[in-house]
Amino acid sequence: MSESLPERRIGSVTVLFGARGGKYPHGNSLLVRGKDESVVIDPGLGMLARSDALPHADRVLNSHCHEDHIAGNHLFPEASWHLHEADLPGIRSLDGMMAIYGYPEPVHSAFRKVVVEEFHFVARQGAQAFRDGTVFDLGGGVRIRVLHAPGHTRGHSFFWIEPDDVLYLADVDLSSFGPYYGDAWSNLGDFERTLAALRTLAPRHWATFHHIGVLDERAAFLDRLDRFEAVIADRERRLLAYLREAPRSLPEISRHRFVYRPEDPISFAEPVEARSMAQHLERLVATGEVREVEPGRYLAA
């Protein structure tokens, strides 16, 4: 394998770190070897850097269907590909993939091109579905158990790898950016329920696709999780402060930016802001903290 990107071995699991510490668009993939089968989890762009010496894989498991997590799938044409049944339409066609994002034009067409040209999207009609509780037995006591963890996408899933007790968290990446729930197939409430359930789990190692890589201490994991989850409340606090100043429409809220920094040149920032903050608005209206003072304009109560 490439000497330019680091790796870490944890029993049957090898963490294949991506460039720039796994910062988007890069990420950290996992290779899991059993007696009978080998599995690659979320082959990202780092797999292209390793393409001169790719590991053998009988299966590719994708935690969900987002561009950065499937960017290396095409390097394993002989392997079977597996996604949660809720995200399966995304890998079966490019139209299905774009429906997950739900971007309007002209963002849709521009990002569609990015997904193909920069993330090497290849459709796989024969991709297979898994669901919560599915177990992949790789032989020799090595197993991968699926834990459905929706919110980021409908089918977003964790993988618990035994007997090494590694819990792969995919895009619950524990980063300072916080949870992403800005696509058409994202859901803030589901994400919060996933985070609550995650606190009840007690593996020995936690692995993320972006940034963090691997954590080995529960105290460090909980500290990161607290800060990651706190971003949701911070976005809501800042939204309320903004809505105390004057009535605002959702387009105004989107342009103000609560997810991305105003100076960040993100082509899809406005639809992501709109989807994210619409979910916050909905529940703030439901709790009475915000009211719709005229059609489409909102003010903090």
pTM comes to 0.96
Q: What is the pLDDT of residues 116-146, one digit of tens each?
A: 999 999 999 999 999 999 999 999 999 999 9
Q: What is the pLDDT of residues 198-240, one digit of tens each?
A: 999 999 999 999 999 999 999 999 999 999 999 999 999 999 9
CB of 249 closer than 8 Å to CB of 296: yes
Domain 234-300 top-level CATH class: mainly alpha
State the fold for domain 7-216.
Metallo-beta-lactamase; Chain A (3.60.15)
With bands split at pLDDT 50, 70 and 90, how would you rate the model's confidence at 2? very low
Q: pLDDT at residue 261 above 80?
A: yes
Q: Where are the domains of the chain?
A: 7-216, 234-300
